[in-house]
Structure 1
């Protein structure tokens, strides 16, 4: 059974350490066939260390949880608070919506959506994260509900969004949903 030790410099809170321990355990079990109960990950603390002839006594900043960044962005978009939603975006942010609609500005999305529905909201079933070199990919899925342009109500329409989060900011969003298949003729 794997036993993994993490050594951190001072300055990280218990929430950050807890996230780190959970993710290292998941990563370990993705490589080693071990049950969760047989995987041990713990944090040790060092007061200082030296690298490249420099002495360090504190760790770097913690990043926000990528799923929370995504959830905050989607909530702000649903509320049509574009200024607050824009705060979640990295420079060069891009999004691709059904039909290959490629956009870089939130106002473009609002205009594009105007002919598709009057209002839309998401009911989330799950958020999944995967981690790469400098990027966290977040998938969120669930169903859409809202109002068509003619005033008819819809609900239960499947969606999946894929986000790339780097340095706590969204750099890309890809969207797939069944709105076109569910839209009244």
Structure 2
């Protein structure tokens, strides 16, 4: 049976996300390539799952992802697979206030069976601005 790089990349990303939600940054780090980059909304850059776990520990009391779908596409020229995972974050803010409909999309680049980059986009910053009375428009 031939390798299916798209299915393999989707499985790697979903495993990574599962480990990240435990959180198990050590386990998640086994799925990332040397030189891994994680870019959060606003341009914050991290180089390991432990870095993002530490950041999330300050922003949320706890947080998980409720997956809607995972899609992927192979870039035949580079051998990279772009994997898109989306739906909602749910959890609690540091003050204990629960949330459950915080939209997100994570965009991963997978090559040779390892994640080389992920871009993390979600509504957290906008929600926090709104709560602080600093939003430029209603949510």
TM bin (shorter chain): 0.7 to 0.9
Match of 1:60 in 2: none
**Gap regions ≥5 residues in structure 1:** 1-11, 24-63
* Distance in 2, Cα, partners of 1:80 & 1:157: 19
Match of 2:62 in 1: 119
Match of 2:23 in 1: 80
Higher Cα radius of gyration: 1
- Aligned 1:155-174 pairs, distance under 5 A: 155-174=100-119
Match of 2:72 in 1: 129
* Distance in 1, Cα, partners of 2:67 & 2:56: 20
- TM-score, normalization: structure 1? 0.65
Q: For each residue in 1:134-160, what CA deviation from the matched residue of structure 2 results, as whole angstroms up to 9, or x when unmatched?
A: 100001110110010000000111100
What is the DSSP-based 3-state SS (H/G/I as helix, E as strand, rest coil) of the residue aligned with 2:59?
A: coil
- TM-score, normalization: structure 2? 0.85
* Distance in 2, Cα, partners of 1:94 & 1:76: 17
Structure with more relative contact order (C-alpha pairs < 8 Å, separation 6 or more): 2
Q: Select the residue among 90, 103, 112 that pairs with 2:46.
A: 103
Match of 2:135 in 1: none
Contact 2:26 2:49 in 1 (8 A): no
Q: Select the residue among 86, 89, 102 that pairs with 1:141.
A: 86
Match of 1:27 in 2: none
Moved over 6 A (4+): none
* Distance in 1, Cα, partners of 2:89 & 2:122: 9
The count of residues paired between Structure 1 and Structure 2 equals 128
What is the DSSP-based 3-state SS (H/G/I as helix, E as strand, rest coil) of the residue aligned with 2:50?
A: helix
**Gap regions ≥5 residues in structure 2:** 133-139
* Root mean square deviation of aligned Cα: 1.7
Residue 115 of structure 1: CA displacement? 2.4
